[in-house]
Structure formats: structure tokens, C-alpha cells
Structure 1
Amino acid sequence: MIRANKGLKTMSKTMTFEEIEQNYNGQWVLIAYTETDENLQVVKGKVIAHSVNKQDIYQALETAEEQALAIEYLGRVPEDVAYIL
């Protein structure tokens, strides 16, 4: 489990991705996923960290235990923003 720092919260309950979206709207989340679909999208997992600041999530990632992890932003993305993966 990651220790919480300023702006960073942690959770440990397994949820569906839909539940995660509902609970963490407008936030970045670090998910230890337990199930993905055929497109490798998270279906179920535990939110191990969440914050409105993505830098908090990247810091949490550095201290996360070795496991299957995903970082997701669960909010509305402005139309003038582009992501490079």
C-alpha cells in the first residue's frame, strides 16, 4: 500500500471500472487491476492512489509494489488537449 501524502489518497476495495469512474470523477487514479477485457481495458481492480494532480500519481507509481498497474484520468478531457501515448 502506498502512503498518502499531501493531495494523494489511497483505497483498497476491488471495484468495477464503472464504479471507479463514478467514485473518482475528475481525478487521476492508479489502479492495480485484476481483470482486463480483450482490448486490455481495465474491467476490475483496486484504486491504490487517486488525486486531482497527476504528479501525485506518478510519485505513487514509483513506490508501488510490483503488480499490474494502470493510470487513468477519469474526467472530461478538453477538446483542445491531445494525448501522446
Structure 2
Amino acid sequence: MGVVRKSITFTEQQDDWIKKQVEQGDFTNDSEYIRHLVRTHQASQQDLIELEMALEEGLMSGVSDKSVEDIWKETELRYGKKNG
């Protein structure tokens, strides 16, 4: 994977915050912290995309003839299988 060097500007308050994260030992340097923020944002954006797709699928599927209780049971079974 290639590396691209960027030059970015922060306010003093933002810079102090970044330095504090590094000083606390959570990250070894500023770049590591910024990369962490980017990865976290990428993951949350992917989660949002998946949620939007699920909502769209639900809307397109129409009205169910199942009871709310049946839907909850199916959901709990699927969640249990997915999350152990």
C-alpha cells in the first residue's frame, strides 16, 4: 500500500487535543491518531451505507403478513446466529 504525505492545518485547540492523545499513550504520534480517526470514520460510513440499504430493502419488500411477535422472534434468531 502506497503512502501519501499530506500537509494539514489545525487550530491550536485541535493541536492540543491531538498532542494530549499522544501524551496519554493512546497513539505513538500525530499521524497514527489522524489515521485512526480516518479508519473510524470509514467504518461508521460503511455501517451507515449498510443500514440505508437494509432500510430500502425493508421499504421495498412491502407490508408483512407476520405478527410483530413473529418478526421479533425471527430477528432474535438471526441476531443470535450472527453474533454467537
Q: TM-score, normalised by structure 2?
A: 0.22
Q: Determine which structure has the larger helix proportion and give its number.
A: 2
Of structures 1 and 2, the larger Rg is shown by 2
Q: TM-score, normalised by structure 1?
A: 0.22
> Of the two structures, which has the highest relative contact order with CA contacts closer than 8 Å and spacing of 6 or more?
1
